[in-house]
Structure formats: C-alpha cells, structure tokens
Amino acid sequence: MKIPALLIFLLLIATSDYAQNRAFEKKVKEAAEILRLPGYILAVVKNGKVIERYMAGYSNLEKKIPVHSDALFMIASVTKTMTANLIMQYEQEHKASLDDYVLNYRYVDIGFGWPYNVDPNAKIRHLLSQTSEDGPGNSFVYMALASTICTAFLKRQAGIRPMWMPTS
C-alpha cells in the first residue's frame, strides 16, 4: 500500500513539531528544577492564541494541591520587569520615547494628587532606572511609585482611561 507524499510530509512536520515541543518541555522542566520551583504554568502564545501550555508541581506546596490551568501565583516585583519591557516595545514602535518628560503625560492614574513628588525634569528613562529622584539621572534612589507611574503611562498610551477621568 502506497502512502501519499503529502501525508508523509504532514507526518514529518507533525513529528518534528512534536519533537521540538518535547525538547522545549524538557528544557522548561530542567529550568524549573534548577530554580527549585514548587510549581509553574507556562503558556506559549502565538498571534494572540495559546498554542502550548506546560504546568507541573504544586500551586500550594503545604497542602500538596497540584497546579491546574487557572492557578494563581504570587509574582511580586516581576511586574516591574514586564512594565519596563512594554515601555521598551513602545520605544521601538515610536509610540513613546524614553526621553519624554513624565509630566508630558499628566493624566496618569496613580491614585494620588498630581504631580506626586515627580521632578519636572524626570523622564521615562529615569523612572525605569530608578534615578528620577534627587535630581533626575544623578543617583539611584529606589521608588516603588516609579513602577506605578510607568504602568499608568502604559495605560494612557494604550488608550485606557483612568477610572477617575470624566468620559466627556
């Protein structure tokens, strides 16, 4: 019995993708072991759709509750890295500049009166590098609010209106 060439080709592609996925999954498991992660969920997104999902371990180690697809994890300050990454993408797409002054974006929703201790010479780059205080660019001074302001900046650039801003 002859197998059509197209079918063989599709089987080879499927096998190749399967092998690549298995190799990737193995690397994810190895990284999780090195990092001693008690549990994790990893999604691979392509064109806005989840094409692969990997999960293992426990979402609650003490109670031995296995990870499930909608488990929530504490991510702490990882969001600061994500925020910085998004701002750099805006820079690459020319939607904003690291050299834009923070006060150019007056309607950022930070939950405080504006301006809230923001030096008028502070630029987006100063917020990202934690050098917006004590004379922008002069010294490193950690300010957790800097990340909040950056997040608000991203929301504004994305067209997400702050809750307090009038709709008209």
Query: Cα dist. 84→18, 50, 51, 93 in Å?
Result: 34, 23, 25, 14
Look at 106 and 53; give whichever has higher pLDDT. Answer: 53
Looking at residue 151, what is its pLDDT?
Answer: 82
> Within its chain, how far is the Cα of 137 from the centroid?
25
Degrees to nearest 5, angle at CA 83 with 144 and 123:
70
Tokens 């499927």 found at: 14
CB 99 within 8 A of CB 123: yes
Q: Which amino acid is at 94?
A: H
**Is pLDDT of 66 > 90?**
yes
Look at 114 and 145; give whichever has higher pLDDT. Answer: 145
**Is pLDDT of 9 > 80?**
no
> Tens of pLDDT along 91-133?
999 988 999 988 887 655 444 444 456 777 889 999 899 988 7
CB 119 within 8 A of CB 91: no
Q: Positive or negative CA dihedral for 30, 33, 34, 40? A: positive
> Within its chain, how far is the Cα of 130 from the centroid?
18
Q: Which amino acid is at 34?
A: I
The two tokens of residue 98 are 């690291």
Enter the pTM of the model.
Answer: 0.57
Looking at residue 163, what is its pLDDT?
Answer: 63
